[in-house]
Structure 1
């Protein structure tokens, strides 16, 4: 049996395998309590509001009490990113396409509850237990397909990219709409004034069709748009599988 590889410090923290400090006063907090408080701050006031001092105040403790468990804000953000995604859905018995559809819709719903998630810094592939559980769930949905293992990873990675784009763009568009709904309604009119059909023939046809008219822009269903994009993505995966099997 090969020798075990020492875990990087941040991975040990995510999995609860980093040793607690032996010196100093006895700990009166747990990492779970700290992370729950930090997630609550981010949900209420945005990611920018999260600081060690703010989280400590929410818990009624000193900032130093947090540092006994979490050594920096970067570590706290890493823990928050894993805690936010919770548990993936049960895809037992579903075919690969139904499974990935359920998976994608579930993670989008989860991340919309924590819209700050897409603002977290990315330092590498997922290593936390919850993020890996979602990765495992999506890979398992592809078990009975003709894809090679690395191809399955590619499908899931690209699906994750689609999900993150949906959550981030949806958040920003919703915020902009809430600030000025009329701006969306005027979009078609503004383009009609700007678009030269010789230079922008395809876009001109879209504008002329009324696709950017006020009712369509204001009543646009972002969730339905995502379902449409997801369906196109899965159509492509299915076509690739058919070529791969043939």
Structure 2
């Protein structure tokens, strides 16, 4: 029996297959050969649509993020807070996204949609175009950094929860010399690091919220100065 021709593929098909590999095995498992195997195609067939692994990673970086949800009604502060948490949620859905190298400003359609969404939150402010761009890029850097730290810490917490709780405070007390690190010693004495395992897990979310609050307060102060 003669086999029929294999259906044609395109860059979107290749990207989806690569994402399936990354979801199942991690980003390190992604290669043109492995993706070709996932698709049941010859490796060289992929190169007709995607020139290199670097280009594939760029396509994956854009496709990994879901489309941004509509912003809620309200002022810019509430909208940017919503946007930031939506970005964090999207990244946590595919943690391998954080391992993709960033070689330039966003150019993919989904990345640009997220960029547009955050800029839209600032449309009624007195800020000029360059300030809006700077704020959104800074907020994006903050969220990505917090996501990277959170994903890394989450893995460590899963492996050894006690290392993030009261045991951490005890370990610091054995290391920190009040004469050499007086500010840190004072914080230790306050008991801020004497957390049980559950509180330590909740503290990660609280730290993101606090950092986001400070960032938004800084924007508000800048807008107030402009006004």
> What TM-score results when the alignment is normalised by the length of structure 2?
0.91
Structure 2 partner of 1:8: none
Structure 2 partner of 1:236: 218
Q: How far apart, CA to CA, are the structure 1 residues paired with 2:161 and 2:78?
A: 35
Deviations 1:5-38 (A, max 9, x none): xxxxxxxxxxxxxxxxxxxx99721222211111
Q: Which runs of 5+ in 1 are unaligned?
A: 1-24
Q: 1:92 to 1:215 in 2, by over 3 A?
A: closer
Q: How far apart, CA to CA, are the structure 2 residues paired with 1:182 and 1:102?
A: 32
Say whether residues 1:183 and 2:176 are aligned partners. Answer: no
Alignment of 1:58-207 (within 5 A): 58-91=38-71, 93-185=73-165, 186-207=167-188
Q: CA deviation at 1:93?
A: 3.4
Q: Could you say what the CA RMSD is over the residues aligned between the two structures, in angstroms?
A: 1.7
Runs of 4+ in 1 over 3 A off after TM superposition: 216-221
SS at match of 1:220: helix
Q: Which runs of 5+ in 2 are unaligned?
A: none
Stretch moving more, 183-192 or 67-76? 183-192
Q: Retained in 2: the 8 A contact 1:87–1:130? A: yes
Q: How far apart, CA to CA, are the structure 2 residues paired with 1:227 and 1:161?
A: 15
Q: Retained in 2: the 8 A contact 1:27–1:68? A: no
Q: CA deviation at 1:133?
A: 0.8
SS at match of 1:219: helix
